[in-house]
Amino acid sequence: METTENKRSVIVGIFVLLGIIVFVGGIFTLAGQQKRFVKSIELNAVFNDVAGLKSGNNVWFSGVKVGTVKKIDFYGNSQVRIRMSIEEDAQKYIHKNAFAQISSESLIGNRIIVIDGGTPSLPIVESGDIIRVKNAVSTDQMLADLQVNNRNLIDITANLKVISSKIAKGEGALGALVSDSGMALNLQSTMAGLSAASRNINNTAVSLSRFSTKLNTKGGLVDELLTDTVVFGNLRTSVAGIQKFSASASSLAASLDNAGKKLTEKDNPAGLLLNDQQSAESLRKTIINLETSSKKLDENLEALQHNFLLRGFFKKKAKEGK
């Protein structure tokens, strides 16, 4: 009897001991997951909406768990303050302008807080600091936007259905183009004309390029005008000479014009002869009289040569001339 009771006591003791061991192990395991035995600092963040975040949720930094959500309480009028327990080892990576954002471990996983470390040149945070926050898009907002997009997609699909129906019936320009073979041929002809015009433009561009290359050929006239200062100086001298010649020609033309004007006036001999009919007639008669007098003078001289008084004188002159 006593032996049986002793066995039961030993068995009960063993089970109690195993239970205590499991219980202590669970405590250490949970404490290790929650990092209860790790030195930590407290950081705060104030959100407008925590989107289902709970105490005990994880805090991540660069994809690594660095702490947990310690407490959630209301702050101000309608905001929520989150107190986070952060490992001291991660403190040196979190700076004064760091910010926190509520995210999730997966598409439908637990809510977490993700911390961005900020600018490395700024001082690191201290225990009790309130860091900035970045409000994430909530699931409800995403679903609302998705619903709006679905309605827009339905409207677009309906419009496409109407347009395709009109095209099939041959309505509108596109429908006529699809169903009318004549319009299609005209469009094809237009495209051919555009293609030919494009080829002509390309040929013109090639010709201009070749012409430009010839202009830039060393030794050519244009190249010498652009690069040879001696040729340019000679050209400038030639242009100056042409300008002087032009000025002289202009002066000569002006003189001729003045002379022409004087020829039309009667205050000079030439103008009088050209414009006065009586003077011209008198001059003509004078010339006729001079011709008549000249003939008579020739006759008188001929008579004097045959005169016996002067015949010897003329014979003597003739011999001297020979």
pLDDT value at residue 286: 77
Answer with the residue of higher pLDDT: 269 or 241: 241
pLDDT value at residue 78: 85
State how far the Cα of 154 lies from the Cα of 180, in Å rounded to an integer: 31
Residue 2 has pLDDT above 80, yes or no: no
Residue 69 has pLDDT above 70, yes or no: yes
State how far the Cα of 84 lies from the Cα of 68, in Å rounded to an integer: 6
Residue 103 has pLDDT above 80, yes or no: yes
Predicted TM-score (pTM) of this structure: 0.39
Burial of 231 from C-beta contacts in 10 A (0-12 / 13-18 / 19+): middle
Calculate mean pLDDT across residues 171-193.
72
Over residues 244-303, the pLDDT tens digits come to: 777 777 777 777 777 666 656 666 665 555 666 776 677 677 777 777 777 777 776 666
What is the residue type of 106?
S
Residue 209 has pLDDT above 70, yes or no: yes
Number of H helices, E strands in the chain: 10, 7
Rounded to the nearest integer, the mean pLDDT of the chain is 77
CA angle (73, 74, 75) in 5-degree steps: 120
Kind of pairing between the strands at 99-104 and 58-61: unpaired
- DSSP states of 76-121: TTTEEEEEEEEEHHHHTT-BTT-EEEEEESSSSS-EEEEEE---TT
pLDDT value at residue 110: 83
Residue 214 has pLDDT above 70, yes or no: no
CA angle (157, 138, 105) in 5-degree steps: 110
- Report residue 85's pLDDT band, with 50, 70 and 90 as the boundaries: very high
Return the closest-CA partner of residue 84 out of 59, 106, 114. 59
pLDDT value at residue 257: 72
Over residues 148-170, the pLDDT tens digits come to: 888 888 889 888 888 877 777 76
pLDDT value at residue 68: 92
